Amino acid sequence: MTATGTTGPSRRGRSARRAERTATTVRWLPELDRGIPYLDIVTPEELERIHDASMTLLEEVGIDFRDDESASLWNKAGASVDGYRVRIDREHLMELISTAPSEYTMLARNPERSVTLGGRKTIFTPSYGAPFVLDVENNRRHATIDDFNNFAKLAYMEPAMHMTGGVLCEPMDIPVPHRHLEMTYSLLRYSDKPLMGSVTSRERAEQSLHMMGIAFGHETVANTTVSTSLANCNSPLVWDQTMLDAVKVYAASNQAMLFSPFVLGGASTPASTVGAVAQLSAEALAGVAFMQLIRPGSPSVYGQWTATVAMNSGAPMAGTPEIDHINLLVGQLARFYQLPWRCSGGCSSSKLVDAQAGYEAARNMYGVLMAGANFVLSTTGYLESALCQSYAKVMLDGEQMRMMYKLGRGVDMGELDPAMEAIREIEPGDHYLGTQHTLANFENAFFMPDLMDGDSYEQWKASGSVDANSRGIQMAKRRLHEYVEPSLADDVLAELTDYKDRLRSEIPENQL
């Protein structure tokens, strides 16, 4: 972990070390370079059966591309097209997806924050799309643009967040036709990490891309990947015009896309883990292949967002074992296809930052890490099955991502010889607390959380009996109070502001 700022004066003692660790220094963890094995959940023969099922779906059932231009592109490419229904031969599909890179790099506004994903490299990113927030007063309310700006700042300051994100929350106080302008402006101004663009119409995608061009340089954006944006398939088996228009815009500029069926297991897929994977894989692969029709070699990420559905209520559930199974299967398929892949991480159906939220998020994220996802969306703040974003959980999850990062790096065998020397220094029955080895390594040998309390009951009670939710809120307030805006040239900021404000004056608030 490297520091790019300064901390306060040096002090001694446990509380001083904690204060130093939590001081407002913009720290940065590069993308995770995986040091642990993948967990393959099925045999190669079983994986081949799932692949064959997906190919059969695309060849025999087909998939709808509900857009005249897109259907025409498939027709010209040689697919069987009947109206919007497209049937793709498996050899043709595999040939198309083979042109998508297995890894790609996103250039950040601050080049030191650029990241590579794919292969054994993983990035963590914030949650996406919540219309509600659980705020720093612990009140649930509609999200605002101030909340969005705050979440952009917190993502910028969190070491384990490798992108600022996309729709960090839905700013409900901004009219929908103007929302993408304010969000893209915020992502570019309040952070210098890579970002996600708008996908809610062709024009909004073009305007987001233009704003990226102002910040990065238009020639840079025309030739270099600076963003990864989200394209959701409407399961079962529909790619709609809105998503396809966004894909066309970003693909033409070599910007990356996440091809993500929005899976509600048992509702939008069969009530079967392997059946759901066969369907969502077909949907995602068709999206990747379509992007390669637009621009061969453009970065295309395979994957999904998955919840299972409670059959007694119809409610989406997070953190179930079947979601782990799906992620493990999709990860194994992604390695078979040699594609980078995405899923979602710290998800919960809970309404509060409580035991349910912790259990579900941790179980979901641990499965994601074992599966080897390259792009992990929704790692921080996620409550109510994506309907609510919690300030406290953003902070608590951020610390969990640093722990997951260390877990994912694996063990350092270079530590063994110095440790053996330390063992030789002491007598049996003695301790290591005063050895030179311990003094040299105690701060980094084991992860020391700041928001998970490990004090004795008496110490915890004397400190105010503060629970995890309250500690998260306190840390969010502190980080926002100490936030310092990253540098952005005055003329660039002025041009961004002028472009945003001009379009807001020109676009009617009620425009569809």
Cα 309 off chain centre by = 22
What is the residue-level pLDDT of the chain in tens, covering all 512 positions? Answer: 343 433 333 334 445 555 555 555 668 999 999 999 999 999 999 999 999 999 999 999 999 999 999 999 999 999 999 999 999 999 999 999 999 999 999 999 999 999 999 999 999 999 999 999 999 999 999 999 999 999 999 999 999 999 999 999 999 999 999 999 999 999 999 999 999 999 999 999 999 999 999 999 999 999 899 999 999 999 999 999 999 999 999 999 999 999 999 888 889 999 999 999 999 999 999 999 999 999 999 999 999 998 888 888 888 888 899 999 999 999 999 999 999 999 999 999 999 999 999 999 999 999 999 999 999 999 999 999 999 999 999 999 999 999 999 999 999 999 999 999 999 999 999 999 989 998 899 888 899 999 999 999 999 999 999 999 999 999 999 999 999 999 999 999 999 999 999 999 999 998 87
Fold observed for domain 1-6+18-411+444-512: TIM Barrel (3.20.20)
Integer CA distances (angstroms), 275 to 94, 233, 268, 271, in order: 21, 17, 11, 7
* pLDDT computed for residue 315 by the predictor: 85
Question: C-alpha dihedral over 403, 408, 411, 412, to 10 degrees?
Answer: -100
CB contact at 8 A, 252 and 209: no
* pLDDT computed for residue 132 by the predictor: 98
Tokens of 188: 């570019």
Q: What are phi and psi of 265, to 5 degrees?
A: -60, 120
Residue indicated by tokens 């782990």: 324
* pLDDT computed for residue 46 by the predictor: 98
Beta-bridged to residue 27, according to DSSP, are 3
Report the distance separating Cα 81 and Cα 74, nearest Å. 7
* pLDDT computed for residue 310 by the predictor: 85
pTM above threshold 0.85: yes
% helix / strand / coil in the chain, to the nearest 5?
Answer: 50, 15, 35
Instruction: Annotate 220-269 with DSSP letters as a single string.
Output: HHHHS--BEEEEEEBTTTEEEHHHHHHHHHHHHTT-EEEEEEEEEETTTS
CB contact at 8 A, 81 and 67: no
Q: Residue 168 is inside which H or E element, if any?
A: none
- Please confirm whether the linkage preceding 236 is cis (ω < 30° from 0): yes
Report the distance separating Cα 204 and Cα 410, nearest Å. 42
- Among 424, 406, 408, 405, which Cα is nearest to 416's? 424
* pLDDT computed for residue 313 by the predictor: 84
For residue 488, the tally of other CB atoms under 10 A from its CB is 17
Tokens of 97: 């997806």
* pLDDT computed for residue 280 by the predictor: 97
* pLDDT computed for residue 231 by the predictor: 97
Rg (CA), the chain: 24
Integer CA distances (angstroms), 110 to 115, 168, 215, in order: 11, 20, 11
Report the distance separating Cα 236 and Cα 230, nearest Å. 18
Dump strand ranges (E) for 151-240: 228-233, 238-240
Report the distance separating Cα 264 and Cα 305, nearest Å. 9
- Among 397, 415, 413, 421, which Cα is nearest to 471's? 397
Beta-bridged to residue 105, according to DSSP, are 116
